[in-house]
Amino acid sequence: MVKRTAKFYGPIVELSRLQGELNRLFAAFVETNDGDAIRLLVELPGVEPEDVKVTIRGRVVMVRGTKKGRIRAKEGMRFFCMERYFGAFVKSIPLPRPVNSHHARTHMKDGILEVVLPRVPDLREKEIDIPVRAGEEE
């Protein structure tokens, strides 16, 4: 007996494939071993720096932008498969530690967005001396 594997096509399958591809393209790499800072590297191929906006809320970095299309379909032309995706995107990147968002800086070159966020020292790890006073309580 010959075993056949079913191949599924349709809008839901295509959306799932698109989401996976976008996650791969816009994957973020978080490096926490950068001394006193957390460094994010986000791949944004084909996106111009002026089309990217980076915001920080709490311990989440949001990267928003638009990848503008450069391929125009001619009248009567339809694509069966396209490996390039265009349009708006949003990427949420959770941070492993608190950061000083007021001193964050970004740089984008060759489709790689770098975000450097100075870490906030964790006071729970720091040893603090508390003086012991003699005498009456206040």
Q: Report the C-alpha gap between 49 and 108 in whole angstroms.
A: 6
Is pLDDT larger for residue 117 or for residue 123? 117
Is 107 a residue whose pLDDT tops 90?
yes
Number of domains in the chain: 1
More confident residue, 119 or 13: 119
**Confidence check: pLDDT of 76 > 90:** no
- 7 pLDDT higher than 90: no
What pLDDT score does 13 carry?
76
Average model confidence (pLDDT) for the chain? 79
Residue 106: closest CA among 117, 118, 98: 117
The pLDDT tens digits of the residues spanning 83-103 come to 667 788 899 998 888 888 899
Within-domain flag for 130? no
Cα distances from 19 to residues 6, 12, 86, in angstroms, run 21, 11, 13
Domain extent for 108: 11-69+78-121
Q: Is residue 17 part of a domain?
A: yes
pLDDT one-digit tens code per residue, 16-40? 777 777 666 656 666 655 678 889 9
Inside any domain, residue 131: no
pLDDT tens readout for residues 53-62: 999 998 899 9
**Closest alpha carbon to 47 in 131, 96, 104, 108:** 108
Nearest-5° Cα angle at 48, 35 to 37: 10
CATH number at residue 35: 2.60.40.790
